[in-house]
Structures are given as structure tokens and as C-alpha cells.
Amino acid sequence: MEKVILEAEKRTLTGKKVNRLRKEGKIPAVIYGRDYEATPITLDKRNTTNSLSKVSSSTILTILLDGQEQASLVREIQKDFIRNEIIHIDFLAVSSKEKLRTNVSITLVGVAPVLEEFDALMVNGIENIEVECYPQDLPESIEVDLSSLKELGDAIYLKDIPAPANVEFLTDGEELVIIATAVKEEVVEEEEELGEIEVEGEPEVIEHGKKEDEESED
């Protein structure tokens, strides 16, 4: 993948004063790490937002600060969900000589034969896998092939997925990734039956309430 570079400047404003930076089209952020002194920085909002929209949560980014490049991983993004804007980012400085722990997203690929044969309902389990590896071995995502799902009840667990080279899965291998469940029509019928039962039960509750009211009036 093409190297993603975010140009940054050191930041002196902190606390509520950072709102001034946001009005100027900048995003306050911080870089920290085991052997990296926590450094407040600012980033251009437009360029940063565009860059982050094209990468995964496990992409190693390069932050250019004072002419020096620092490999970093996004640890946390704070957003204003009303305005749909990023308001702060925490970056973890990483070293090619030290292993890191982070979550990598799961990407489903291929076609499950059970969908065509039985019109099954696919139920997802976990969406991310915690891994440990060196930054240079960190995958963008973990691909899971659905072609093995041929019958109802077939499932894929984390233990069924081979880890990429030099990557260790830390998430429990018994965690469910995806399963092919009952036929969609059966699920709809069950929901309709439940709906009918609820409707039939309502008049009894209402009638019971009226009787109580009448008795209280007496």
C-alpha cells in the first residue's frame, strides 16, 4: 500500500483553547509511545480526514513532524457525531524493533454456497481480532473465505482462520466469526406467529384493567 503521510505541527494550545484550532480548520492530536515523549500536535482537518477515510484502523501511518518521520498507529479518534467531524486523535508511536498489540478488522470474501442452496441467514460474530506482531507485519485486515459454508449450521470460528505470517492472534480461538442459520422464510414465519400471540393477549389485559376500575368505583 502507498505510504500515507500526515504533516503535523507541534501544538502549544491545550484544554478548551484548542477550540480555536478547530475553527481554523485544524485537528488537535497527540503522539505517545513507550520510548516516545507524549507530544501535542495539530493536523490539517481536510487532508487528515481524507487520508483516514482511505485506510483501515490497523494501517501504519507516517507523521511528518519537524522534518522527522514517525511511524504511528491510530489509537483513538474522537468525533462530533452531530457535525460528523473529527475533533481529536491519539496516535501510538511504533518502532520496527518492538511488537505491538492492536485490533485488525475482519473482511468477508467469497460466496457461501449455503446462501444459494438453502437461502440461509448469515449471522456475524466478532468483527475484529486482537493481534500481536511487529509493525511491518501488521495486516490491513484479516480475510475470511465464506466458500466453506455449505450446509445450515456451518460456522467459521477464529480457530479455523490461519494467522498471517509473523502474526499471533490474541483473541480466543472459540470466538464465532460467522454462522449459517435457519432459512429466512422460517424466521419470518416465527416472527409473524409471535406477533399474533401478542395481539391475542392484549384484549385480556385491557379487559382486566377495566374490571379493576369498575371494582374500585364500587
CATH number at residue 125: 2.170.120.20
**Are 92 and 107 in the same domain?**
no
Compute CA distances 64 → 6, 8, 41, 61, 177, whole Å.
Answer: 6, 6, 11, 10, 37
Looking at residue 182, its pLDDT comes to: 79
Element containing residue 173 per DSSP (H, E): none
Number of domains observed in the structure of the chain: 2
The answer to whether residue 50 sits within a structural domain is: yes
**Are 89 and 121 in the same domain?**
no
**Are 9 and 79 in the same domain?**
yes
Q: Indicate which CATH number applies to the domain containing 31.
A: 2.40.240.10
Describe the chain by its helix, strand, coil percentages, rounded to 5: 30, 40, 30
Q: Is the pLDDT of residue 85 over 90?
A: yes
Give the list of residues 6+ apart from residue 39 with CB closer than 8 angstroms, or none: 10, 30, 31, 32, 65
Residues of the domain holding 24: 5-97
Q: Please give the residue that has the higher pLDDT: either 188 or 27.
A: 27
Grid coordinates belonging to 185: 422464510
Looking at residue 120, its pLDDT comes to: 86
Whole-model pTM: value is 0.74
Looking at residue 161, its pLDDT comes to: 96
Grid coordinates belonging to 191: 416472527
Average pLDDT over residues 114-137: 93
- At 54, give phi and psi (nearest 5°): -105, 0
Smallest CA-to-CA distance from 31 within 89, 95, 87 is with 89
Q: Is the pLDDT of residue 210 over 60?
A: no
Percent of the chain with pLDDT over 70: 83
**Are 70 and 17 in the same domain?**
yes
**Are 91 and 10 in the same domain?**
yes
CB 51 within 8 A of CB 16: no
Element containing residue 190 per DSSP (H, E): helix 184-217
Of 10-14, 128-132, 201-205, the poorest mean pLDDT is in 201-205
Amino acid at 131: V
The answer to whether residue 117 sits within a structural domain is: yes
**Are 9 and 87 in the same domain?**
yes
Average pLDDT over residues 181-209: 54
Q: Please give the residue that has the higher pLDDT: either 107 or 209.
A: 107
Q: What is the pLDDT of residues 17-51, one digit of tens each?
A: 888 999 999 999 999 998 899 999 999 999 999 99
Residue ranges in 32-175 assigned as alpha helix (H):
45-52, 113-118
